Structure 1
Amino acid sequence: MTDSSRAFPLTREAVQGAHQLIMPHIHRTPVFTSCTLSSLASTPQSPTALEGTAHEGHTPAHPGINLFFKCENYQRAGAFKSRGAFHALARLSDEEVQRGVVTHSSGNHAQALALAARTRGIPAYVVMPAISAPSKVSVTKAYGASVIPSGPTSQEREAVVAEVIQKTDATLIPPYDHSDIILGQGTMALEFEEQVREIPGGEQGLHAIVTPCGGGGMLSGVATAMLGTGTHVFGAEPSFQGADDCRRGLATGSRITTVKTLTIADGLRTPVGEIPWSVISDPAKVRGMFAVSEEEIKRAMALVIERMKLLIEPSAAVPVAVVLFNEEFRKLVQEEGPWNVGVVLSGGNTTLEAIGKLFAAS
């Protein structure tokens, strides 16, 4: 792993420094609005939608929500992960660069690191679960990385990574559990807050940002970038098969280290890392975590594709589903709003075939 003694502190100033470092290599992704989705988010859910939940029989929330979408699906390599990958590689020593880099990832970090390594002209070794989407594997290889298959769990991935390091002496660039990755991911928040103020209706800035949460690198990065700005930061997870490990961990006060889930939001199948947890578990930095069902994720994804004409992957639809369907979040906004809510569309690495299969199963 990169030398932790050289790690920057997790501060807004450090995120600003990371942004300057990676600007030549990343896209300043657009921020879009949607009157249709803002209207849907501000409309009470039907009582039948709350049946079988803790909110059954209660008056549905009637929040005032004005939505802004940070479109990281337009980022290089198709997802926000390029920010952290380019920052981590920029921070390597000359000796580390010569040895090449290794990581484990289900897809988006794999592609991002492969692209960043190709840009630097160094070898990249990527351990990918055998169940990874074939399209993500092929793109990672197309960027020039050597792909090594593994089992689906974090423990299985890390065991294969250890074997690769023993053979190649490559430097580990973790997908989320490293300060350089966190600071790189946080750069999207700096752009987001600036861009929203330039859009009609966004002059007051963002009252809240909702991001997906898997390993927690993006959520902790955004929280670090927004600390002290007055913008509330929230995380969004799938609930399927215990994928909401961060939400559950916060409820018990202890980080959950193992997750086994086949949620359709495949980018969020990992447990929150130790360093991201140190940020996320601080209520002054991350105000809350919310979880949504598989069906809600699919409904949100369909709305973004059909109404906004944006191609996103299921993981990117999770925060959209929270804003539209999670009654706890919606009641909070009703009580404190109206709010300008920023939603991070984290990536668009999917295929028409995968989308067809996803909705054919509905």
Structure 2
Amino acid sequence: MLDTDYIPTLSDMVEARERVAPHIHRTPVLTSSFINELVGAELFFKCENLQKAGAFKARGASNAVFGLSDAQAAKGVATHSSGNHGTCLSYAAGRRGIPCTVVMPRTAPQAKKDAVRGYGGRVVECEPSTSSREAVFAEVVAETGAEFVHPYNDWRVIAGQATCSAELIEQVQGLNAVVAPIGGGGMVSGTCLTLSNLAPSVKVFAAEPLNADDAARSFRAGHIIADDAPETVADGLKVPLKELTWHFVRNHVTDILTATEDEIVDAMKLIWKRMKIVMEPSSAVPLATIIKNRDIFAGQRVGIIITGGNVDLDKLPWN
């Protein structure tokens, strides 16, 4: 049984890095002189949209799956996910040759459902709310006995996500800040874990859609505020914080910045146009918040984590 109270440490990240290395890419860091000039800062985009299975979540999923004992692995793994975690868990489970079941909102992008099935995972649909997702998932676990790998409230997942910023600070020297999108907070927590230990002078900012700003409101209130079913184009950022991720957010995040739907779409178009890289709306939120808050980042060297590239090309948000 997973210890849900355990706070991952730097040594967990180091072990995760060794464990996941055969199963992930060391993703590149790209820059844009046009965007740098626009925002008045040097931005370094860590391109997890080019990661295995198209998202950073391959890191946490691989760490969890390959850390299982043979007895645990034999029953398979299961999760609930709006898309990328489910896709990445299916990818990792396929690499280990074990079954994977993913509970997904019926409104999740078809591309993400197809991706889960493409890696051999089984999709079970639920209504697009946290309460429905968790109720349907409980039925799946009772039926299969599979190991639950939570999308973010899981120390194994956070330790895996922490390997991303470990690479980033090796690839780019002298960063002043790192900005990552926040939904449940897995990537932000992993970023806090690594940077607070290895580069404590680097500030961590989280970026969130204004339409799903429960993390920002939690940050201001000093306790978790959870929205059940927010509506935003950034479909990967609809879920609330949980206890483990809240620990990292309240102790290590400098601020949580928000962007409107139009600002997110404009930032997404800008990156597609200027950098020629495919990314999903959730990944555009950090740039949208930097453009909106130029004064905070003026003259600084800023890392941006582009979290995923699994966009539904038939439903681009500007069509």
Q: Give the TM-score normalised by structure 2.
A: 0.96
Judge which range, 70-79 or 226-235, deviates more.
Answer: 226-235
Structure 2 partner of 1:237: 208
Larger Rg: 1
Q: Residue 341 in 1 paired to residue 302 in 2?
A: yes
Q: Secondary structure at the match of 1:281?
A: helix
Can you list the C-alpha shifts for 1:133-182, whole angstroms capped at 9, x where unaligned?
Answer: 01110111111111100011122111111101111111111001110000
Amino acid at match of 2:3: S
Q: Which amino acid aligns with 1:96?
A: Q
Q: 2:167, 2:98 → 1: CA distance?
A: 29
2:167 aligned with 1:191, yes or no? yes
1:351 lines up with 2:312 in the alignment: yes
TM-score normalised over the length of structure 1: 0.85
- Cα distance in 1, alignment partners of residues 286 and 10 from structure 2: 23
Residue number in structure 1 paired with 2:265: 298
Offset from partner CA, 1:12-53 (integer Å, 9 cap, x none): 3321221111111100000001101111111xxxxxxxxxxx
Tell me, yes or no, if the aligned pair for 1:12 and 1:226 is still in contact at 8 Å.
no
Structure-2 residue corresponding to 1:84 = 60
Mapping of residues 180-259 of structure 1, within 5 Å: 180-197=156-173, 205-228=174-197, 229=199, 230-240=201-211, 243-259=212-228
Asked if the contact 1:8–1:14 (Cα under 8 Å) also holds between the matched residues in 2, the reply is: no
- Figure out how many residues of one structure are paired with residues of the other and give that number: 317
Question: Match for residue 261 of structure 1?
Answer: 230
Hey, what's the Cα distance between the residues in 2 that align with 1:177 and 1:153?
A: 17
| Deviation readout 1:214-245 (Å, 9 max, x if unpaired) | 010000000101004111111000001xx111
**1:1-362 equivalences in 2 (<5 Å):** 2-4=1-3, 9-42=7-40, 65-197=41-173, 205-228=174-197, 229=199, 230-240=201-211, 243-282=212-251, 285-325=252-292, 327=293, 330-334=294-298, 338-355=299-316, 358-360=317-319
Listed as ranges, the gaps of 5+ residues in structure 2 are none
User: Structure 1 CA distance, aligned partners of 2:193 and 2:127?
Assistant: 32
The alignment-based identity, stated in percent, is 42
Structure 1 position 104, deviation (Å): 0.4
Query: Which letter does structure 2 place at the counterpart of 1:233?
Result: V
Distance 1:175 1:181 in 2: 7
AA in 1 matched with 2:318: F
User: What is the letter of the counterpart of residue 19 of structure 1?
Assistant: R
